[in-house]
Amino acid sequence: MKLVILGKGGQGVIFFSRVIARAALGEGFSVCGTEIKGMAKKGGPVEIHLKIGEGRSPLIKPGEADLVIVLSEDLKEYGSCFGKKLFVFSKEDIEEALSKVPPRQINTYLLGRLIKKEPFLRKEAILKVLDSENQKFFLEGWNDV
C-alpha cells in the first residue's frame, strides 16, 4: 500500500506517520518511506511517503498513492496530485476534535476516526504502539464514527 501524509510542521505529522509505520512493522509488513520537512519548524509543509508491504525506495510517484491523508486542509490540492483517494482532516473535523480532546491529542483522535473509516491496519496493531493516554484518545476517535 502506498500512503502519502501531508500536514504542517508543529501539527504532529511525523508522530502520526510513525505510529502507522510502527503498527505496520508490528504486523509483519515491510515499511519504507521518507519524511520531507522544509526549512520551517512550525507551520511549514511536511510530506510523508510510506510504502507498506511493498517496494524498496522511499518515494511514491505522482498519481500513484493508494491513499492521501491531508492533515491541513489547504494542502488538499497538492495532495490530490499524489492520488485520487483523499482523506482530509477538515477545519470542522479539527474544531470538533478540539472540543473533545486536548490540542496535543487531536492527531491520535483523528487517527482513530481514520482507521475506522479506512481500515488499512487493524485497530489492535495501532493500539499496540501507543501509550495508555494515546490509546484512550485513539479509541475515542474510533468510537465517534
Partner 1 sequence: MALGIIKNCFLKKLNYNIVIPEKEIMKKRFYFSGNEAIGAGLLKAGVRFLTGYPGTPSSEILPTFQRLAKKYLNNFFADWCINEKVAYEVAYAASLAGIPAAVTMKQVGLNVAMDPFMNSAYVGTDGGFVVVSVDDPGPHSSQTEQDSRFMAMAAKVPVLDPSDIKEAYFFSQKALSLSREFKIPVLLRSTTRVSHGRAGLEIEHFEPLLDKPAPSFKENLKTWKEKLKRLAATPKLRFLLHKELNQKLEQIASENKPRFFFEGDIAIITSGGVFSYLYELIEEHSLEEKICLVKFDLPFPIDEEIKKELKNFRRIIAVEESMPVLELQLCAEGRNTGIVPKEGELTPAVCEEILSKLGLLKKKKHISFPPLPRPSLCPGCPHRIGLFALKKAFGNSAIYTGDIGCYTLALNFGVTDTVLCMGAGVSFSFGIKKAFQMAEKGRAVIGIVGDSTFFHSGIPALIDLYHYGIPVLIVILDNGTVAMTGNQKTPSSSQSFSGEKLNPVSIEKIVEGIGIEFCKVVDPYEFKEVLKVFKEAKKFLESSFSPAVVILRHLCINTKEGFSVNPKYRVKIIEERCTGCKVCINEFECPALYFDEEKGKVFINQVWCIGCGCCVYACPKGAIERESR
Single out the residue of 129, 137, 75, 132 nearest to residue 104, CA to CA. 137
Residue span binding partner 1 (CB under 8 A) among the ranges 21-29, 108-116, 137-145: 21-29
Residue nearer to partner 1 on the CB measure, 36 or 145: 36
User: How far are the Cα atoms of 64, 89, 106, 108, 127 from residue 98, in angstroms, in the given order?
Assistant: 32, 12, 7, 12, 21
Shortest distance in whole angstroms from residue 89 CB to partner 1? 13
Residue nearer to partner 1 on the CB measure, 40 or 145: 40
Backbone angles phi, psi at 118, to 5 degrees: -125, 80
Give the count of residues interacting with partner 1 (CB under 8 A).
41
Among 15, 44, 85, 145, indicate the residue that binds partner 1 (CB under 8 A): 44
- Assess 143 for contact with partner 1 (CB under 8 A): no
Cell of 143: 468510537
Amino acid sitting at position 9: G
Shortest distance in whole angstroms from residue 80 CB to partner 1? 9
Helices (H), ranges, the chain: 13-26, 76-79, 91-100, 106-117, 123-129, 132-143
- Assess 102 for contact with partner 1 (CB under 8 A): no
Return residues touching partner 1 (CB under 8 A): 10, 18, 21-22, 25-26, 28-45, 53-63, 74-75, 77-78, 81, 103
